[in-house]
Amino acid sequence: MTGHSTRRAATTLVALLLSSCAATGTAVPTSPPSLEVTPLADVRFDALNPARGDASPLAGTLFGDRAGSAATGFLFRPVDGFSSPPHIHNVSYRAIVIRGGVYNGPPDAERVWMPPGSYWTQPLGAVHITAAREAPILAYVEIDEGPYLVRPPDQAFASEERPVNLLPADLPWEQRAGFRVASLWGDAAGRGGQLLELPANGGAIAQSSEDFRVVVIAGLPTLPGGDAGLEPGSYLHARGAALELRCGAEACTVYVRHDGAVDVRTGG
C-alpha cells in the first residue's frame, strides 16, 4: 500500500468509525477527528546507530524523530544473533517484544531471553547490551523526549531509575468485559501506556478526546471495512476519533499510548 492509498483508506475508515459512534451512542468529539494508519509494509527502516555501519540494527520510525526532542516511537529490527557492544543511552526508553527473542541487561549477566509480548525498560546512563535471536525479530521502542543517542560505557552515570523486565505471564493483567488490559506505565487517566488483549472473534472500541497511538503487538486485528488484518508492527494514530478493532480466528494484542484517558469498551 502506498502512502497516498494509506491516507485515502484512513479517511474512509474515519467516516466508518464515526458512523459506528453514532449508531452506538458514543459521543463524537467536536474537534476534527482523524485516523492515520501505517501498515508495517509502509514503515521505512534505516540504521539505528549509523556509526556501526552494516553492524547496526535497523529502526523504523512510527512517530516523532529519534534525532529530535519530542516523544518518539520506532520499530527495532536486528538480525538473528545480533549482540550490541556495552553502551549507555542519554535518555530512558521502554520497549515491547513483537517477534523473536530479546535480551537486554548487564553485559556479564546470564541472558534471560524475553519472548514476544514481553515488556522492558532501560534507564538512562546504565551500561547494558541488547541481543536478539530467533528471526524474524521485531520490537517496539519509545522515548518520552530525545534525542536518542548511543554513548560508550565510560560515559555511564547513575540515575534513580531501575530496569523493568516483565515476561508476558508477569504483566499486570486486569480482566474487563470482553478483553484484558495491562497498565505498563503512567497514569490511566492521563499520559500513559497500556496493553489491550482482545480474544479471538472479539473486538473493542477505543475513544479519547486526546491523541492516542496504537501499535499492533500480536495477531491480525482488522478495522471496519478493512480487507486484511494489520500485521504486528503496524501503527495507528487517532486524534479525537473512535478506533474500532476486531480479531479474527486468533486473539490479538495492541499497545496503546495515550495523552489522556481512553474509554475502551467491547465492540459491537
* pLDDT of the chain, 268 residues: tens digit per residue: 334 334 334 433 333 333 333 333 444 444 578 999 999 999 999 999 998 899 999 999 999 999 999 999 999 999 999 999 999 999 999 999 999 999 999 999 999 999 999 999 999 999 999 999 999 999 999 999 999 999 999 999 999 999 999 999 999 999 999 999 999 999 988 999 999 999 999 999 999 989 999 999 999 999 998 778 999 999 999 998 899 999 999 999 999 999 999 999 987 6
The torsion of the CA quartet 219, 192, 160, 83, rounded to 10 degrees, works out to 20
Look at residue 260 in the predicted model and tell me its pLDDT. Answer: 92
Look at residue 31 in the predicted model and tell me its pLDDT. Answer: 52
Against a cut of 0.85, is the pTM above it?
yes
Look at residue 188 in the predicted model and tell me its pLDDT. Answer: 86
Contacts (Cβ under 8 Å, ≥6 apart) of 256: 193, 194, 195, 196, 206, 212, 213, 214, 262
Look at residue 51 in the predicted model and tell me its pLDDT. Answer: 87
Look at residue 268 in the predicted model and tell me its pLDDT. Answer: 60
Look at residue 180 in the predicted model and tell me its pLDDT. Answer: 96
